[in-house]
Amino acid sequence: MNKLHWLIACFFLLLQSLPARAQLSFQLEMIPNPYQAPKGTRAILVNGDGSHVVVYGKKVDEHDDKIPMAFHWSERDGHTHLGLLNNRNVLLPMDISDDGKVIVGHNGGASFVWTKQQQMRTVPKLKSHYINTAISISADGKTVVGYTGWQSDIRAFRWEIGKSLHEIGTGKDKVKWRNATYSSEDASVIVGSTPGQVYVWKSDNTITPIIAPEDCHFIAEDVSHDGHTIGGRCSIDTPMVWNEFNGFSTLPIPAEAATAMITAMSGDGTKFLGSAKYKGENYINTYRPILWHQKHIYFLDDIVKQLNPNKAMKRVTISNISSNGKVIVGGYKDSIDRYYPFKLIIKE
């Protein structure tokens, strides 16, 4: 055997000795529906380890108004109705802390923070006539971020619960944010944007613009716990990941899909939830929920249907992934338009 053949043989032996990159497997766990929601619910938020979930549905009152119904659920405590802030008919939970004890969201022109002990409380405002939109809470449950203002006067805020609300976005470059949308684990890093630019704010009050690739309008969708990785999309076309040290990279789009986008990510920045868009007949598009992990794409609607083959599923929706990357939550709709919430447990 000459030297070249020997090197080739050694190379193939090395490849065979490397551990195979195993694909993920999944386990489906159904979440009970609260009796107060006659049309069922879907799971929209999940905490750090998947033990606490927020489920969301609607009921119709005597005036034919659709009343939002949001519940905190855990296997130990069951369902707890979040309530309605100021008796409004618009309620949307936006985020949950890693321990599952704090939920934030907005209710029309006001925003709320909820705990089981203190129930639903209003997020303070910079000015009395401003509206507030709370979007994210830090993983440690101590800091809420979002935007506040009126008409064209929109400002980003950072609120340490129990203290005064604090405007962010003005630094040495005098850059004002339009909003603040995502927080790292301890809120030392916050992601926000103006109409044409994504920015990273850090606790030393520095603001760093993220320069997107040419012909790309980058839109952030989530940030990792350490604040170094942002999952997002290039307009509506391409799933993009930004890393503070390595810059931008692109996730693959499924074969035959027209576009794909990231909607959420695990806290360690290794798993990305999203949807793939397929162009159908008569200009009717189909959206399929997917998961990216190590460049592999998992079609989550197929997985849910395979794990529960006896149920007729009209539509499967996926909403959120736990910070530890082990639990995905969502819901499916049956033939009579009733929703059923579930957890999809990831096995590695």
Tell me whether residue 182 is in a domain: yes
Tell me whether residue 125 is in a domain: yes
pLDDT of 25 above 60: yes
pLDDT value of residue 183:
95
Tell me whether residue 112 is in a domain: yes
Report the predicted TM-score, pTM, of the whole model to 2 decimal places: 0.90
Tell me whether residue 114 is in a domain: yes
Q: What is the pLDDT of residues 228-266, one digit of tens each?
A: 999 999 987 899 999 999 999 999 999 999 999 999 999
Tell me whether residue 177 is in a domain: yes
Q: What is the pLDDT of residues 133-148, one digit of tens each?
A: 999 999 999 999 999 8
Answer yes or no: are the C-beta atoms of 317 and 304 closer than 8 Å: no
Residue with tokens 């470059």: 173
In angstroms, rounded to a whole number, what is the distance separating the alpha carbons of residues 265 and 17? 32
Angle ∠(44,121,68) on CA atoms, nearest 5: 40
Cross-sheet strand order for the sheet of 238-243:
218-223, 229-234, 238-243, 247-250
Q: Residue 173 sits in a domain of what CATH number?
A: 2.130.10.10
How many other C-beta atoms lie within 10 A of the C-beta of residue 125?
18
Domain around 92: 82-210
Tell me whether residue 348 is in a domain: no
Helix (H) or strand (E) holding 241: strand 238-243
What are the phi and psi torsion angles at 264 (to 5°)?
-165, 165
Tell me whether residue 144 is in a domain: yes
Tell me whether residue 148 is in a domain: yes
pLDDT of 325 above 80: yes
Q: What is the pLDDT of residues 37-73, one digit of tens each?
A: 999 999 999 999 999 999 999 887 766 567 889 999 9
Give the number of domains in the chain: 1
Burial of 65 (0-12, 13-18, 19+ CB in 10 A): exposed
